[in-house]
Structure 1
Amino acid sequence: MNKIRKGDPVIVLTGRDKGKRGTVTQRVDDERIVVEGVNIVKKHVKPNPMKGTTGGVVEKSMSIHQSNVAIYNAATGKADRVGVKLLADGRKVRVYKSSGDEIKA
């Protein structure tokens, strides 16, 4: 079970975007995620007339390692760690470590 999933609000802990908040838009693989508005780079793109795209310099969100972000707890207004709790009916749910509240997905 991934502790950080697509759609989760996260806050960046390290790097040049430290302190920025955003939503996870994509999981690239087991370790890397794409967060909107974080790790923006300028990429030079060649035009492709077959697809109808124009060339130039575009801004693009690149992936960031999941260890550099933490889930954002709206109740406390701070970053929080994620734990896994086993419910009585056998389901596993993600919980905030600080309060034990269930993370709504």
Structure 2
Amino acid sequence: MATKLKVKKGDKVVVITGRDKGKTGEIIEVNPAENRVKVRGVNLVKRHQKQSMQTPGGIIEKEATIHVSNISHVDPKTQKPTRVGYRTEGEEKVLFARGSGEKIR
């Protein structure tokens, strides 16, 4: 069973562990069934692609998925990794940074 993730497509995140530690990027794909995300410019792998009518053949570089536990939201105020929480502002539920209290989305 998939768990609820606090990340969405378009969120700014930073990698907190692994070979790409410290790199920041935007989430381009979320897979909640496997708790994995793709982050632009992070965890680049090389794939050998066969030539087709639409695409040329050769070695291409693309993003691979990374586990959601290895990333953290970027605090909009300090640009550092932060934990996040939810609160209600009026009628809407917003995600905020625990460190500075700034609204993320």
Q: Same fold by TM (over 0.5)?
A: yes
RMSD: 1.5
Match of 2:65 in 1: 63
Alignment equivalent of 1:86, drawn from 85, 88, 91: 88
Does structure 1 conserve the Cα–Cα contact (< 8 Å) formed by 2:12 and 2:74? yes
The TM-score, its normalising length taken from structure 1, stands at 0.86
Alignment equivalent of 1:2, drawn from 5, 19, 27: 5
- Cα deviation code 1:51-83 (max 9, x no counterpart): x22211100101111110001113112101110
The one-letter code matched in structure 1 to 2:39 is V
Q: Which runs of 5+ in 2 are unaligned?
A: none
- What is the DSSP-based 3-state SS (H/G/I as helix, E as strand, rest coil) of the residue aligned with 2:78? coil
Q: Percent identity?
A: 42
The TM-score, its normalising length taken from structure 2, stands at 0.86
Q: Which runs of 5+ in 1 are unaligned?
A: none
Which one has the largest radius of gyration? 1
